[in-house]
């Protein structure tokens, strides 16, 4: 491999900008070369573009279609049914009364192509962001509150500072904000003041054990909908039965793997979000 090629690959590997693939349809060789030059030198652009060498489904993000060649308009119409509509850029010489105005004129191709690509990607990124936000709400990973959206909030109840710290870090990685208290009585005081989407409680605590805390939460009309996950080193069938009778939503035995914690938390958040929607609980929105 030559030094320039190697350096180019190293730059691409370290480039943090999102990359989008561009495919051309019917574009003259001259314009393809001009496009390559523009994209190669657009190092300070907010997006990175690469020319796709293949044009199969899913192999490119944006299409540039020459509307002046035979079949160009038909190709553009077909692509607009396959891709998102504004991901197809029509390249032409002028406005044609028989069709909408071209997106990009050949007369100012070099000056405008990067702006045209950015305009398309801005719209794509915004739609994807909206779709991800909607999915996060669906999954309970975002919570509507006072017209805004926030991360779900968990309350950790454990008398061990080390466990509280470890759980807080783990929940942050999963996508939750958390607060931690050292006793069940503190937990009940905090729960009366703030809204939480999850409680993670130890069993053995000095003033009130985790089973009693769970029962108290589940008997409180304002709190009973909050999922309670018990995390404890007790794993006997008797302890599991006590957790179920107390009303806990999940029972995890320490040490808990990150994957088990993630799966449990995400499952409970999905159920809570679904239940709130079904109950028409929009008091928090």
pLDDT of residue 284: 42
Q: What is the mean pLDDT of the chain?
A: 88
Q: Which CATH number is 3-139's, of 3.30.43.10, 3.40.309.10, 3.40.50.2300, 3.40.50.300? A: 3.40.50.2300
The predicted structure's pLDDT at residue 97: 60
Asked whether the predicted pLDDT for residue 241 surpasses 80, the reply is: yes
pLDDT surpassing 80 at residue 74: yes
- Over residues 201-221, the mean pLDDT reads 94
What's the CATH superfamily of 145-279? Response regulator (3.40.50.2300)
CATH fold match for the domains 3-139 and 145-279: yes
Sign, CA dihedral 87-93-95-100, equals negative
Q: Which residue has tokens 């398309």? A: 120
Q: What is the pLDDT of residue 81?
A: 87
pTM of the model: 0.66
Domain ranges of the chain: 3-139, 145-279
Residue 93 or residue 163, greater confidence:
163
Percent of the chain at pLDDT > 90 equals: 65
């Amino acid at each position: 491999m030559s030094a320039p090629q190697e350096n180019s690959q190293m730059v691409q590997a370290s480039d943090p900008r999102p990359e989008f693939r561009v495919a051309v349809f019917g574009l003259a060789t001259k314009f393809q070369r001009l496009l390559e030059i523009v994209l190669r030198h657009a190092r300070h652009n907010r997006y990175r573009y690469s020319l796709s060498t293949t044009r199969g489904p899913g192999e490119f993000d944006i299409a540039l279609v020459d509307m002046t060649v035979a079949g160009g308009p038909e190709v553009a119409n077909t692509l607009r049914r396959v891709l998102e509509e504004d991901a197809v850029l029509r390249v032409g010489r002028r406005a044609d009364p028989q069709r909408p105005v071209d997106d990009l004129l050949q007369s100012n191709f070099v000056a405008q192509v990067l702006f045209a690509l950015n305009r398309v990607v801005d719209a794509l990124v915004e739609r994807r962001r909206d779709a991800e936000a909607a999915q996060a709400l669906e999954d309970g990973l975002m919570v509507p509150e006072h017209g805004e959206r926030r991360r779900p909030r968990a309350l950790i109840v454990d008398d061990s500072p080390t466990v509280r710290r470890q759980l807080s870090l783990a929940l942050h990685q999963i996508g939750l904000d958390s607060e931690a208290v050292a006793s069940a009585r503190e937990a009940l005081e905090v729960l009366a003041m703030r809204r939480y989407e999850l409680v993670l409680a130890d069993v053995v605590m000095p003033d009130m054990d985790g089973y009693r805390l769970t029962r108290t939460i589940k008997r409180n009309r304002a709190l009973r909908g909050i999922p309670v996950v018990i995390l404890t080193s007790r794993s006997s069938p008797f302890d599991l039965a006590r957790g179920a009778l107390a009303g806990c939503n999940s029972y995890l035995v320490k040490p808990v793997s990150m994957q088990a914690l993630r799966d449990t938390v995400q499952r409970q958040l999905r159920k809570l979000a679904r239940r709130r929607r079904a109950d028409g609980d929009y008091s928090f929105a």
